[in-house]
Amino acid sequence: MLIILLGPPGAGKGTQAESIVKDYSLVYISTGDILRAAVKEDKELGRKAKHYMDQGSLVPDELVVEIVKDRLKDPDCQNGALFDGFPRTVEQAKFLDEALPEIGSMVDGVLLIEVDEDELIERLTGRRVCSKCNAVYHLKFNPPEVRNVCDQCGGDLYQRDDDSIETVKERLEVYKKQTGPLISFYKDKNVLYPVDGNEDISSVYKKIKAVLDKL
Ligand code: ADP
Ligand code: ADP
Ligand code: ZN
């Protein structure tokens, strides 16, 4: 099964992915996580991408496509994958359409998580992420048991550089302009499943499960 999580920054894609991968045994592929790891390790990819990420812009398609091409070669992807934050442009989606038949796969479903803009801003500015395992928390909506410590691995939590209010606003604009067109792209292919993401984490997950169980 190959599933794509689509939705604006802060919609809850990473949060919902944590449950989905466990329940459906899918390999999690987050281009954002891969890019942040490359920045942290000061790899060439990270040096090329950092400037775009800091500004809230998209990293060029060629770089991202290269990441996904490499990742899909890994044998663990044969059983299916959950994409989070990819594709983000129609160009990237077209690349995926071409690459998937090579590994005998196709897009089974695109979950579009929709959340109101005010709520997105509150979610993003209060987000905290584990520096070790990338688990996602929120100061108010999903706090860890011990302040600034990951429940799952004990790692320190940090705030992403791009979760500042100015960069958040830019990312929301970029989403509308550059990623928005993917909604009709996947609707036309009859694989789009919109989910209202405004409710609490477990209610949203129930709705996602209802969709995935029918695929
Ligand atoms: P995305 O991956 O779509 O950018 P995240 O999963 O990182 O979004 O969630 C953004 C922030 O909102 C995180 O701090 C997360 O804990 C919080 N969050 C996620 N889902 C919900 C929800 N349903 N209600 C309230 N807060 C949420
Ligand atoms: P979000 O929480 O906004 O969903 P991500 O972790 O998915 O954030 O992405 C963070 C940043 O990494 C983006 O603002 C962008 O600069 C870059 N990025 C991640 N995935 C892609 C992609 N598929 N195409 C282009 N840039 C990407
Ligand atoms: Zn952790």
52 Cβ inside 6 Å of ligand 2:
yes
Residue 147 lies in a domain: no
Instruction: Say if ligand 1 is within 6 A of residue 105 CB.
Output: no
Domain assignment present for 6: yes
In a domain, 185, yes or no: yes
pLDDT value for 178: 98
For ligand 2, atom 10, which residue shows the shortest CA distance? Answer: 32
Q: Is residue 141 a part of any domain in this protein? A: no
Does any domain span residue 131? no
The total of structural domains in the chain comes to 1
pLDDT for the residue 202: 98
In a domain, 49, yes or no: yes
Active centre residues (catalytic)? 13, 88, 127, 160, 171
Ligand 2 centroid to 177 CA: how many Å?
14
Contact status, residue 120 vs residue 11, Cβ threshold 8 Å: yes
CATH number of the domain bearing residue 194:
3.40.50.300
pLDDT in tens, the chain (215 residues): 999 999 999 999 999 999 999 999 999 999 999 999 999 999 999 999 999 999 999 999 999 999 999 999 898 988 789 999 999 999 999 999 999 988 888 999 999 999 999 999 999 999 999 999 999 999 999 999 999 999 999 999 999 999 999 999 999 999 999 999 999 999 999 999 999 999 999 999 999 999 999 99
Ligand 2 contacts CB of residue 7 (under 6 A): no
Closest CA to 108 of 28, 215, 199: 215
Residue 60 lies in domain: 2-116+179-212
**Radius of gyration in angstroms for the set of CA atoms belonging to the chain, rounded to a whole number:** 16
DSSP annotation of 12 reads S
pLDDT at residue number 206: 98
Distances (CA, A) of 113 to 39, 74, 92, 120, 154: 27, 28, 19, 11, 29
Instruction: With respect to residue 159, please indicate whether it lies within any of the assigned structural domains.
Output: no
The rounded mean pLDDT for the chain is 96
Q: Report which bound ligand comes closest to the CA of 59.
A: 2
What is residue 10's three-state secondary structure?
coil
Cα–Cα distances in angstroms (integers) from residue 132 to residues 139, 142, 143, 151, 171, in the given order: 18, 18, 17, 12, 25
Residue 197 has what pLDDT?
A: 98
The reply to whether 139 falls in a domain is no
